[in-house]
Amino acid sequence: MAPLTSAKTRPVRLADIAKAAGVSHGTASNVFARPEIVREEVRERVKAAAEAMGYGGPDPKGRLLRAGKVNAIGVATAEPLSYFFEDPFARVMMASISQACDATGAGISLVSAANSEQLAWNIQSALVDGFIVFCVDGGSKLVELARDRKLPFVALDLDSDDDDEAVAAIGVDNIAGAGLAARHLTELGHRRFAVLALPCADAGFGPTTREQMEKALYSGTRDRLRGYFAELARVDIDISKVPIYETTNDEKSVWAGLDHIFAGAETPTAILAMSDRIALHALDWLRQHDITVPGDVSIVGFDGVPEGAVSKPPLTTIVQPIAEMGRLAVKAILENDGSPTSRQSLPVELVVRASSGPSPA
Amino acid sequence: MAPLTSAKTRPVRLADIAKAAGVSHGTASNVFARPEIVREEVRERVKAAAEAMGYGGPDPKGRLLRAGKVNAIGVATAEPLSYFFEDPFARVMMASISQACDATGAGISLVSAANSEQLAWNIQSALVDGFIVFCVDGGSKLVELARDRKLPFVALDLDSDDDDEAVAAIGVDNIAGAGLAARHLTELGHRRFAVLALPCADAGFGPTTREQMEKALYSGTRDRLRGYFAELARVDIDISKVPIYETTNDEKSVWAGLDHIFAGAETPTAILAMSDRIALHALDWLRQHDITVPGDVSIVGFDGVPEGAVSKPPLTTIVQPIAEMGRLAVKAILENDGSPTSRQSLPVELVVRASSGPSPA
DNA sequence: GCCAAAATTTGAACCGATCCAACGAAAGTG
DNA sequence: CACTTTCGTTGGATCGGTTCAAATTTTGGC
C-alpha cells in the first residue's frame, strides 16, 4: 500500500511540532508549560506549528508520569456507579466531598467495584492520588484493595471490628446512635418493636435473626443492631421476640418486610429503621395501609438525609454529620502523604420530628 | 546526613523488584500482566520480592502511557462539582450516564470548570478518553476547551445557535417543548402569564426583558423563551406585557421573583417555569402564600425530574428523555473514536399532572 | 571591541510501565 | 546425534511528556 494521505492518523506529539518548528522538544515543552521563558518569536513559531498540525496541547498522560500527581481523588464503592447519584446518603456525602475538592481544585474519579471481576482491576488501575472508600457493603475487601495501592486512603464508616490494621477511617458511633433511637422510643412508652435492617448477607432480603445479623458484611449494620438491642434489653424488653427483617435498602424489600411484620398477630407500635431510606419507604407503605404515623406506629430512621425533613410526616432520625465526614475525608487524603492516620468517630444526634410519638398502648 | 534507613522512601518500582528477584524487568512485568507465561518458580520469586519490598502492583501511571486508554470518561460542567449531586436534572442524567458506564466497565471523572482560572487547566489535564459536556451555562467556552483536547466528546444540550462547528451534541427541542407548555396553558383558558427564567447573564437575578434574554449564555434558555412567546403570540396574547423574571435556579431567586411578580396589580394565573427546580421552588412559595395550585395559579415546569412526580401538587411539566440522553452520550463517546457525529435532537413530552388546571378567570 | 552577566536553547535523563523481536535452553523428532 | 519446536527470558524501544545542567546566544558595561 502506498501511503495515501498519512494512513493511520497517529496523534500529533510534542516532538512532532518541535521538529516542525525547528526547536528542541525541551523548548517546545516550555512553550506550553512556561511560555514566559521562551522568546516571543520562537513561542509564536511553535504555537503556529501546533495550530497547523492540529496539536491539542501536551497530553496529560505524558505529563502525569513525570509529575506524579493526578490531582484527583478516587471515591470507591462496591455498589454500581449510579449509587452515588441515587442513594440519598451517598449524595449528601458526595456533595460535601465535592465541595471540599472544588475548594482545592482537585477532581473526583468515581470507581465502582460492583462485580468482583472488575472490582480489583478498577481499583488497581484507577488514576488517583488517593481513595475515599465507601464501606456500606463489602467494605473490607475494598479497603484491602485500596490499601494495596499504597496510596493515601480513608475509609468512610469502616467496619468497627476491623481495626487490626492501621487504616484511616472516619465513621460514627453506630452503637450509640442506635441506642439513642431505641431509647427515644422506649421513653415514649413503646414496648412492641420491629427492626428493618440493612443488608446483612449477600443480596437477599427476608426475616432474619440476631445471630444471623452478627455476621453482617458491614459492621455498621451489626453495630446498629447491637445498639438497638442493648437499649431494649436495658428496659427489659424481650429482645428475642423483636422481629428483624433484612432489607436491601430499597422499596421492594422494605414493603415485603412490612407485609411480613404486620401479618403477625402482635404488630409493633415502633419501628427501628437502619437507614432513612428504609424509613421513608416504610412511611409510604404505612400510609398506603392506613396506618397512621405516629398515631398507630412510630418510626425512627438513621442517617439524617435531607429528604427526611420534608417527608410526610417528617422523619425522626439519628443524624450523622455527613457533610463533616466528607470534609474530613478529603482533608485526610490531600494533607496526608500516605501514612494512615487514626480512626475518627464522630458524634451522632437524635433529631425528633413528627414520625415518632407516644405509644398508643 | 548519613542514610538512616533509606531516607526519602521513594516508591518501589517494577524495576526495583525485578532487580531484587534477579530477573529482567520484562519478566517482572509479565508476572503481573500475564502471569501464565512465566514459569511458576520465577513467578513466586518475583511475587515474594514484591511482597517483601512493599510493592503495590504496577503503577497505572506507567501503564497508561503505553496503553493509551484511560478507561474513564470525563463529565464536565461550568458549575461546581457539587452540582452533579445537588441538581435534580444533573442527578438523573448522571445516574443514566453512570449506568451506561457501569455496563462497559468505564469509570467516570467529574471535572468542574467553575472558576475560569482552573477551567482551562482542569479540562486540559483531565485523564479521560472523552468528554461529556454539560452545557447548562457557559457552554460554548467549555465545548471549545473540550474540543481542543481532540478527544471524542459530546455536548449535552448545546447551544442551538452554535452549530457552525461540527460538534456532536445531544439535546432536546427546547422551542417545541416550551411551545407545548404554553399551549397546554392557553388551552386551559389562561391569558395572564409570567415566566420564571433560567439564568441569562452572569450570576444575577431580577426582572428582565425578552431583548435581554436573547443574549442568554445558554441557548436552551433562549429557545425556551422563544417557544413560550411564539405560542402565546399565536393566540394573540400581548407578549410585551408578560413579565419575565430571571432566576438563578435556586430557592432564593425564585421566591424573589414571585414576590416581584405577585406585587403587581395584574397577577398571573399561569406560570411558565423554565426548569422543574424553579417550578418546585415556586410551588413552595405559592403554598406559603395561600395561593392554591391549580385553583388560583397553574404552573408548568420543564425537565421532568422525579421530584416533580411527588411534589404537592404533582407538577405538570415538559419531560426530557434524560436517561436516553445519558445513554446516547456514553455510547457516542465509547463507540466514537474522535470524529464528531451529527447532533441529535430528542423529542420532549408534555406530562400533565396536577399543577395545571383551567384558568380561574 | 572585549568580557562578564543575563537570557535562551539544547539534549539527555527520567517518569513507570508494556510490548516484542531475538535469543537460549529444554523438549521432541527422525 | 543433529534439527526442529516449544517455552521462558531478556533487553531495548516506546509511550509523551518535564526537567535541568550545560551550551549557546544576547545584552550590557566600559
Chain segment B103-148, per-residue pLDDT in tens: 888 899 999 887 666 778 889 999 999 999 887 666 677 888 888 8
Q: What local confidence, expressed as pLDDT, does residue A177 receive? A: 96
Cβ–Cβ below 8 Å for B95 and A80? no
Of the spans A282-286, B2-6, B210-214, which averages the highest pLDDT?
A282-286
> Residues of A with CB below 8 A from B102's CB?
80-82, 112, 114
Among candidates A56, A64, A112 on the partner chain, residue whose Cβ is nearest the Cβ of B127:
A64
Q: Which residue of A82, A91, A94 is the best one to mutate when testing the B interface, meaning the one whose CB has the most B CBs within 10 A?
A: A82
Q: What local confidence, expressed as pLDDT, does residue A90 receive? A: 92
pLDDT in tens, B39-54: 999 999 999 999 999 9
Angle of helix B219-234 versus helix B174-187 axis, rounded to 10: 40
Nearest CA in chain B to A129: B61
Rounded to the nearest integer, the mean pLDDT of chain A is 88
Strand partners, A195: A244, A272
* Residue A282, pLDDT above cutoff 90: yes
- Least confident range from A46-50, A200-204, B118-122: namely A200-204
* Residue A137, pLDDT above cutoff 80: no
Residue linked to cell 426548569: B275
Strands ordered across the beta sheet of B244-246: B206-208, B244-246, B193-197, B270-273, B298-303, B316-319, B349-351
How much of chain B exceeds pLDDT 70, in percent?
Answer: 90
State which nucleotides on strand C lie below 7 Å from a protein beta carbon: 7-12, 14-21
At A316, the pLDDT band (50, 70, 90 cuts) reads very high
* Residue A115, pLDDT above cutoff 80: no
Q: What local confidence, expressed as pLDDT, does residue A343 receive? A: 76
> Residues of A with CB below 8 A from B110's CB?
98, 107-110
How much of chain A exceeds pLDDT 70, in percent?
Answer: 90
Q: Calculate the CA A243 to chain-centre distance.
A: 28
Shortest Cα distance, chain A CAs vs residue B221, angstroms? 25
Cβ–Cβ below 8 Å for A68 and B54? no
Cβ–Cβ below 8 Å for B85 and A82? no
Cβ(A192)–Cβ(A200) under 8 Å? no
Give the distance, in angstroms, between residue A66 CA and nucleotide D19 C1'.
9
Cβ–Cβ below 8 Å for A60 and B107? no
DSSP helix/strand/coil, B239: helix
* Residue B233, pLDDT above cutoff 50: yes
CA distance readout (Å), A202 to A121, A218, B11, B92, B351: 21, 11, 37, 27, 39
The sign one gets for the Cα dihedral A172, A175, A177, A178 is positive
* Residue A346, pLDDT above cutoff 60: yes
Q: What local confidence, expressed as pLDDT, does residue A229 receive? A: 97
Q: What local confidence, expressed as pLDDT, does residue A48 receive? A: 93
Shortest Cα distance, chain A CAs vs residue B195, angstroms? 27
Shortest Cα distance, chain A CAs vs residue B111, angstroms? 6
Among candidates A71, A80, A109 on the partner chain, residue whose Cβ is nearest the Cβ of B72:
A109
pTM (predicted TM-score): 0.86
Q: What local confidence, expressed as pLDDT, does residue A59 receive? A: 93
Among candidates B64, B94, B108 on the partner chain, residue whose Cβ is nearest the Cβ of A61:
B64
- Least confident range from A9-13, A120-124, A262-266, B319-323: namely A9-13
Q: What local confidence, expressed as pLDDT, does residue B17 receive? A: 93
* Residue A7, pLDDT above cutoff 50: no
Residue linked to cell 388560583: B296
